Amino acid sequence: MDLGLASKRAVVTGASRGIGLATVRMLADEGVRVVGAARTITPELTETGAITVSADLSTAEGVTTLIDRALAELDGIDLLVNNVGAGDEMRPVGFLDTDDTEWRRTLDINLLTAVRVSRAALPSLMRHRGAMVNISSIASRMPAASPVAYSAAKAALTALGKSLAEEFGPHGVRVNTVSPGVVRTSVWETPEGFGGKVAAAAGADLDEFLQRMPEILNITTGRLLEPEEVATLVTFLLSDAACNITGADYVIDGGTMKSA
């Protein structure tokens, strides 16, 4: 299938690892010129051949740095993937143990980074009748499955995508959301990541905990997601093959959720 992505120009945030890195690689394989943004530029991101921008997107200055550099390097933006999200910073705590500082940080990382980057990129996306994909989470639909602030932030991000699709659709911009389940990334696989904290709280060995997760979560396919599987869906939604899909929220979770 010809996805019609060759020669397109993309910005991917949170590009140093996991879903973001897999998306950069897949878009580059399709002939897309990519700017990959992250607070820390990893060797893996550099090896993709993408233009890399080190920026803290929780600040207005970081967003300006990213979009100004992307416009200068690419002479326009056709595609945007808002992938920045909380990972290692998350803690497996309940509502009463989540103070205002944590609420602000979680909302800033998971929602307001996408607000800022989208606002800066939309003039170019409208000019080039582009497409945007926001990376949410099944936590937006299963709030009991994760820290409350994270679930609320991701639910707001999903709602944002629908609002942007409605407002900017008449200007030729498509906006969709992808909501993954548990993805096999360093967020889950390292002791200092969220998965390590959850395993420690349960008094379990991390490797054993990860092996049991498909059973614990009753995942129909019996395994966790791979970043490349999410990147494949993102790439499709950005492509001409999905030219009449907008305002949608696609769940990819191996059957974790049992109802719509």
Read off the pLDDT of residues 111-135 as tens digits, 9 standing for 90 and up.
999 999 999 999 999 999 999 999 9
Q: What is the mean pLDDT of residues 82-89?
A: 82
Q: Tell me, yes or no, if 150 is annotated catalytic.
A: yes
- In angstroms, the CA 35 to CA 152 distance is 29
Residue of higher predicted confidence among 2 and 109 = 109
Domain annotation covers residue 161: yes
The answer on 116 and 72 residing in a single domain is yes
Do the Cβ atoms of 24 and 92 come closer than 8 Å?
no
Is the confidence at residue 42, as pLDDT, over 70?
yes
Bridge partners for 179 per DSSP: 251
Global pTM? Answer: 0.95
Q: What share of the chain is helix, strand, coil (3-state, %, to 5)?
A: 50, 15, 35
Sign of CA dihedral 97, 100, 105, 110: positive
Span 150-158, average pLDDT:
96
Are the C-beta atoms of residues 115 and 59 closer than 8 Å to each other? no
Mean pLDDT score of the chain, rounded to an integer?
94
> Identity (one letter) of the amino acid at 150?
Y
pLDDT at 88 (0 to 100): 66
Please check whether residues 45 and 165 belong to one and the same domain.
yes
51-78 per-position pLDDT tens digit: 999 999 999 999 999 999 999 999 999 9
Q: Do 137 and 213 belong to one domain? A: no
Q: Which domain holds residue 94?
A: 9-183+226-252
Looking at residues 163-186, what average pLDDT do you find?
96
Q: Active site residue: 150, 168, 194, 209, which one?
A: 150
For residue 188, the surrounding DSSP H or E stretch is: helix 186-189
